[in-house]
C-alpha cells in the first residue's frame, strides 16, 4: 500500500476586506513541493488547519512533512523582536501542536525550513532571528523566492543525512533565521560554513529536519525515499 504523507500548508493573510466572509487566512503550498511529492513513492495529502484534534487529523497519515513559511513570533520562544519579519503566532502554535502529537504517535517527520524551526521551538530551543546580524561572518542564506541562495552544507558522519547525502552537498537556501542549538533528544546533522545548523535528526531516527529547501534541489528525492523506508520499518 502506498504511504500517505500529510503535508502542512503555508498560511497567507487574506485581504482585510474579505476576512468577514472568507476568514483571515488562505492556505496553500508551492508547486515545487507538489513536483517533489509527485516523484516519490507516496500519496501527498494537504493538511488544512480546521481543528486542534491533532490525533484525528493524523490517524490516516504515515509521514508528516512540515513545510516552509514565515517567521514565528519570537515571544513564542521567549525573546523580544531582534530582526524577525512580519512574524505570526497562529501557524506556529497550531503546527507545534501537530508535531507534538505526531511524535506521540511515532510518525516519521520531515521538517523543511520553518519546519526545523518549529520542531526546535516545540522541543524548547530558541531561534537566531537574523543570521546576517547575529552570526559572525555569515554566509548568504537568504535569496529571493525566485532565486534562492545556494551554498554547500557539511553533513555529520554517522547521521542519517550523511548516509543519504554524503560528506557535503550544495543546497537551495531561502531563510534568514535558524535554530540556535539542537534540543535534547536530537543531534546536529548538517552545518553551513558559517556554523549555522542546517540539519538535525532525533536520536530515535524518526525525525529528519533541514533548514534548506530540498523540494528545490537534488536532495529532496533521496530524503523522501528514506522517509518511505522509515514508514516501512515502522510497519
Active centre residues (catalytic): 113, 213, 215
What are the DSSP E strand ranges found in 30-167?
43-47, 63-66, 109-112, 127-128, 149-155
Task: Report strand pairing: 178-179 vs 127-128.
Answer: antiparallel
Instruction: Give the sheet arrangement for strand 168-173, strand by strand.
Output: 43-47, 4-8, 63-66, 109-112, 207-210, 197-202, 186-192, 149-155, 168-173
Packing angle between helix 31-39 and helix 219-234, nearest 10 degrees? 60
**Alpha carbons 40 and 217: distance in angstroms, whole number:** 14
Between the two ends of the chain, the Cα-to-Cα distance in Å is 11
**Alpha carbons 50 and 48: distance in angstroms, whole number:** 6
Amino acid at each position: 500500500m502506498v504511504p500517505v504523507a500529510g503535508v502542512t500548508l503555508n498560511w497567507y493573510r487574506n485581504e482585510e476586506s474579505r476576512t468577514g466572509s472568507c476568514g483571515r487566512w488562505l492556505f496553500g503550498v508551492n508547486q515545487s513541493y507538489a513536483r517533489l511529492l509527485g516523484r516519490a513513492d507516496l500519496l501527498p495529502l494537504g493538511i488544512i488547519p480546521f481543528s486542534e484534534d491533532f490525533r484525528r487529523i493524523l490517524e490516516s497519515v504515515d509521514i508528516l512533512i512540515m513545510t516552509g513559511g514565515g517567521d514565528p513570533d519570537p515571544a513564542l520562544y521567549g525573546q523580544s523582536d531582534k530582526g524577525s519579519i512580519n512574524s505570526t503566532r497562529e501557524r506556529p502554535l497550531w503546527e507545534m501542536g501537530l508535531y507534538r502529537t505526531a511524535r506521540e504517535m511515532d510518525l516519521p517527520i520531515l521538517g523543511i525550513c520553518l519546519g526545523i524551526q518549529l520542531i526546535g521551538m516545540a522541543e524548547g530551543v530558541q531561534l537566531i532571528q537574523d543570521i546576517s546580524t547575529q552570526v559572525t561572518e555569515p554566509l548568504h542564506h537568504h535569496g529571493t523566492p525566485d532565486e534562492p541562495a545556494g551554498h554547500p552544507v557539511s553533513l555529520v558522519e554517522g547521521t542519517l543525512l550523511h548516509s543519504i547525502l554524503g560528506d557535503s552537498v550544495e543546497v537551495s537556501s531561502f531563510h534568514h533565521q535558524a535554530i540556535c542549538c539542537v534540543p535534547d533528544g536530537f543531534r546536529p546533522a548538517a552545518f553551513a560554513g558559517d556554523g549555522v545548523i542546517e540539519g538535525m535528526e532525533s536520536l530515535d531516527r524518526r525525525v529528519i529536519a533541514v533548514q534548506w529547501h530540498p523540494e528545490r534541489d537534488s536532495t529532496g528525492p533521496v530524503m523522501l525515499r528514506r522517509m518511505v523506508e522509515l514508514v516501512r520499518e515502522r510497519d
